[in-house]
Amino acid sequence: MIHAITMIALTGVATAAPAPGKQLAEHRQAEAYQASMDQRESNAIAAVTNGESLTEALAASLLQAQAEDGEFKSTDDGYQYTVSVGWDSSGSIRSMLSKVESALGSATKGENFCFSDGDDVRGEVTVADNMADAFLSQLGVSRASIEPRDQIIGSIKDEPVALNTSTMGSLLFAGVLDALDGRRSGASLRLTLYAPKPLVADDADDILRLTTKKNRVIELPVEIIGDVAKLDPEALKEARWRITGTRREIPVDLGYSVQRALFTTALKTGAARLDDLSKEVIYPVHRQQVALPEQQMHLLGDRNAWYGMEKMSAKASVLTQRTTGDCDVELTFSTRTTDVVVGPLPTAAWPLIKTFKLIDPARTATSLAYLDEPAEGRDPGGISNPDFDERLTRAGRCTAACAAVPGVYEQRMAAARAAWLAEAKELSKDGEVDESAYEAPRYKYAETFEPKSCTEVCNASRGYAECIEDVVREQRDFLRNLDICEAKSPRR
Amino acid sequence: MLAAAALLLLGACKKTHTPPTRPADNLANIARFELDDKESLRRYCQTEGLKECSAVERLAAAEAAIRELHAEQVTEQQEAVERVLEVLKAPDETPVMRVTAVPLEPDTWSSKDQEVAAVLEVRSEMERGLSAMGDETLSTLRKALGDLKKLHEGHVEAFDALKDDAPKSFIVPADILKERAPAMVSASVVEGTASFKILTAALEDQEFERVQPWVAVVSFVITDDGLPFRSIDDHELRLPPAITVALSDSSLTITERKPKAGKTEVSSTVPVAAVCDTLRGEIRYRRADEPLRLQASFKPIEKDSGGDR
């Protein structure tokens, strides 16, 4: 950005009265506008991709997992099956691209981006020039990484070399390009190494000194292998390349592979040659790997019977390159097969499995349900719920009711005797009563009541159970009602 | 020379019924003499008129007879035990259970999005275990156990008789005694418990594996897209096995499940919306070691791609 401001200032000096303040304000405005456009684009694309990166979303739409073949392996717990999962480009990328296009706003002119599976272009989108950089950035690619570059192919001592800014540095590469200007393909260049000071340091230190056990010293002259190690760094700073036919002097920089190769030769002879030089334009390929959505492999049988699920993950390679054809930029998506191990499952299970269905759980929901109908409803005991519940609790109720009867019976008999005594005393002249004349009330069946027998009959007869319970609970006309219960007892 | 041979023979024969005495404590570590091998003994004892050799032969014959009888008896008892175990392998029928939904109370609901508690009543009636294993199982088991008991009693009698016929000095070999140690067979059924003894060897190497008990799966189910039986929630009720069989080298114990009726409730929280999707209670049965069979349905997820344009 500082560079850009400097340019504006220089332009101003050359043309009219400078107004740097105004120009700076305009520049900042333009910069803010571009930032807001980039942000707007970023938000719009994020909405289309549901939070995934655009490249991931495109790869996920285009590449579809398919179970291909596999092989069985025997284990102690049954058979394992290793399924080979391949990825084909049968998915639709167009709907996503049209969403992207509408999110970015339609553009008839601009950069044309193509999306390919390696064989065919599966979708295109045209992005306005002012949005192209941001769009590339959304795709995970910087413009600089794919811009076409000049390159020179040549050889050093018959060894082929590619000459470009990364192999020989921008200064020397520019110098070589200038020197080749106007020359035919296959030309040669001579580079002379100029150094004001000796490049190779004093060899005095290159002596190997050994001390024997008897403290005798042996000194041997040795040659240190590796030219750079012997170089004088200070002298190297002042070393220059001179390209024959030009007047340029270019600092030597041994950080570049081609310069090191040239330097090795030139150190011995003072110069080096670049032969068979020809210019070409290269289109760099930007490589990235994106995670494909985690896949679920469902093991299905007839009627979608479900026998289990395995998870798998994979990555896709995305190559981005400028092209000279209809596409300004082409992105190519590809991936490798992935092995998924299923099982081990029991031997009997495998014939039931008919399909390996692969789904992306983020895009497809899986629901599981029972395959079979419910068990046929059968009536416990063949009776209604109220009858069942009554039967279930009867034993406890019978035990309690039958156990309570003797106590109540005794109370009622005692009460009857007391009532007779009171009445008899009242009727007698002197209040004296012959208690032996008392006759207890006669209840034919109640007199022989036995709790054990009561409980047995109660458990076997709902009618008797309800009768006894009622007698104990209500206690109204207890003795008579108890007699009625006993009279109606099914065991009698 | 002959005398020496006779002495040698006598020595050899005597050794068979006069075992070396236990060394005194201070000689505890001294090496014992080895017995002559049986083959050389047999050859020397072919000489007529050696009464010690006759005794040896009688003992050897007694041991051979005892071994033969024992082996026969073990085989017979093993087969009888196998017949018992075969009866015990009969699978039991699914239990009799009924699911009833407790009516919901829509008047108390305030929103279609809320979740409410739903209750299913489960009534069950389990017949006695051996009846659940088939009508004939009880009688067949009784017969198989009775046969085994009688067989053993007869075997003991026959073995003792043969032992009594053997020479007085005859001792039943230790390995046979070990195999004839009593093993207990115990059957606890609804009517009561019975137990008797058999030979330990009859239970050795016997294997028994019974079907796993039933598990009742009680579920709240709706009908969803393409899935007629989609579960909202389920509860598993592990049911008691029809019989339990404990088999070891020294005992066989059979315990029958008593008949039992019961009622229980299961409760789940269900979305009110599901009630309109034919919410219902269902019951399924599975063996404890087997899952219920499931069905899958796949549906694209509709995503909101509107964003804030």
Q: Whole-angstrom Cα distance, residue A87 to residue B97?
A: 50
Contact yes or no for A306 and B294 at CB 8 A: yes
In a domain, B230, yes or no: yes
Q: Is the alpha carbon torsion for B131, B135, B139, B142 positive or negative?
A: negative
Nearest CA in chain A to B306: A47
In a domain, B256, yes or no: yes
pLDDT at residue B305, rounded to an integer: 45
Say which of A303, A370, A373 has its CB closest to residue B231: A370
pLDDT of chain B, 309 residues: tens digit per residue: 333 333 333 344 444 445 555 555 566 667 767 766 666 666 666 666 656 667 777 888 889 999 999 999 999 999 999 999 999 999 999 888 999 989 888 888 888 888 899 999 999 989 999 999 999 999 999 999 999 999 999 999 999 999 998 888 888 999 999 999 999 999 999 999 999 999 999 999 999 999 999 999 999 999 887 788 989 899 999 999 999 999 999 999 999 999 998 999 999 999 888 776 678 899 999 998 888 899 999 988 876 544 333
Encoding tokens for residue A208?
């190997």
**Residues 6 or more apart in contact with residue B137 via CB below 8 angstroms:** B87, B90, B130, B131
Encoding tokens for residue B130?
């051996």
B130-163 burial, b if ≥16 CB within 10 A, otherwise e? bbbbeeebbebbbebbeebbebbeebbeebeeee
A335-344 burial, b if ≥16 CB within 10 A, otherwise e? beebebebbb
**CA distance, residue A319 to nearest chain B CA (Å):** 27
**Chain B residues bordering chain A (beta-carbon distance below 8 Å):** 94, 96-100, 121, 123-125, 219, 221, 224-225, 227-231, 261-263, 282-285, 292-301, 303, 305-309
Q: Which of A49-58, A138-147, B230-239 has the lowest mean pLDDT?
A: A49-58
Chain B residues with beta carbon closer than 8 angstroms to that of A391: 261
Sole residue written with tokens 């020496």:
B4
pLDDT at residue B50, rounded to an integer: 59
Contact yes or no for B123 and A46 at CB 8 A: no
pLDDT at residue A163, rounded to an integer: 92
| Count of helices and strands (H, E) across chain B | 8, 11
Encoding tokens for residue A7?
């340019």
Contact yes or no for B305 and A371 at CB 8 A: no
More confidently predicted of A466 and B307: A466
Chain B residues with beta carbon closer than 8 angstroms to that of A365: 298-301
In a domain, B168, yes or no: yes
**Chain A residues bordering chain B (beta-carbon distance below 8 Å):** 43-44, 46-48, 50, 99, 103, 298, 300, 303-306, 357, 359, 362-375, 377-381, 385, 388-389, 391-392
In a domain, B11, yes or no: no
In a domain, B44, yes or no: no
Chain B residues with beta carbon closer than 8 angstroms to that of A306: 294-296
Q: Classify B257 as helix, strand or coil.
A: coil
Written as one letter, the residue type at A251 is: P
Q: What is the pTM of this model?
A: 0.63
User: Which tens digit of pLDDT belongs to each residue from A348-380?
Assistant: 888 889 989 999 888 889 989 999 999 876 666
Q: Is the alpha carbon torsion for A253, A254, A256, A262 positive or negative?
A: positive
Say which of A46, A367, A373 has its CB closest to residue B297: A367
User: Which tens digit of pLDDT belongs to each residue from A172-184?
Assistant: 999 998 898 888 8
Cis omega (within 30 of 0) for bond into A380:
no
User: Which tens digit of pLDDT belongs to each residue from A270-284?
Assistant: 889 999 999 888 888
pLDDT at residue B14, rounded to an integer: 41
Nearest CA in chain A to B304: A50
In this structure, the number of other CB atoms found within 10 A of the CB of residue A124 comes to 17
CB A128 within 8 A of CB A110: yes
CA neighbours within 13 Å on the CB side: how many for B170? 22
In a domain, B7, yes or no: no
pLDDT at residue A273, rounded to an integer: 93
**Distances in whole angstroms, Cα of residue B185 to Cα of each of A320, B250, B254:** 80, 9, 8
Say which of A46, A364, A379 has its CB closest to residue B301: A364
Q: Give chain A's mean pLDDT.
A: 83
* Mean pLDDT to the nearest integer, A71-90: 86
Q: Where are the beta strands (DSSP E) in A313-435?
A: 315-322, 329-335, 338-345, 355-359, 364-370
Q: Which of A49-58, A129-138, A352-361, B59-68 has the lowest mean pLDDT?
A: A49-58
User: Which tens digit of pLDDT belongs to each residue from A202-255?
Assistant: 555 567 788 888 888 888 876 555 544 567 788 888 899 999 888 888 999 999
Say which of A364, A375, A388 has its CB closest to residue B94: A375
Nearest to A104 by CA among A130, A122, A142: A130
pLDDT at residue A272, rounded to an integer: 92
User: Which tens digit of pLDDT belongs to each residue from A394-411?
Assistant: 999 999 999 999 998 888
In a domain, B204, yes or no: yes
Domain count across chain B: 1
Print the domain residue range for B107: 78-287
Q: B218: which strand partners?
A: B235, B283
Q: Whole-angstrom Cα distance, residue A343 to residue A77?
A: 9
Distance spanning both ends of chain A, measured CA to CA: 114
Contact yes or no for B299 and A306 at CB 8 A: no
pLDDT at residue A8, rounded to an integer: 31
What pLDDT band is residue A108 in, cutting at 50, 70 and 90? confident
**Percent of chain A residues topping a pLDDT of 70:** 85
Chain A residues with beta carbon closer than 8 angstroms to that of B224: 367, 369
Chain A residues with beta carbon closer than 8 angstroms to that of B297: 304, 366-369
Contact yes or no for B123 and A380 at CB 8 A: yes
CB A153 within 8 A of CB A163: yes
Chain B residues with beta carbon closer than 8 angstroms to that of A362: 301
In this structure, the number of other CB atoms found within 10 A of the CB of residue A400 comes to 13
In a domain, B163, yes or no: yes
pLDDT at residue B241, rounded to an integer: 96
Written as one letter, the residue type at B11 is: G
Answer whether residue A131 shows pLDDT above 50: yes
pLDDT at residue B157, rounded to an integer: 96
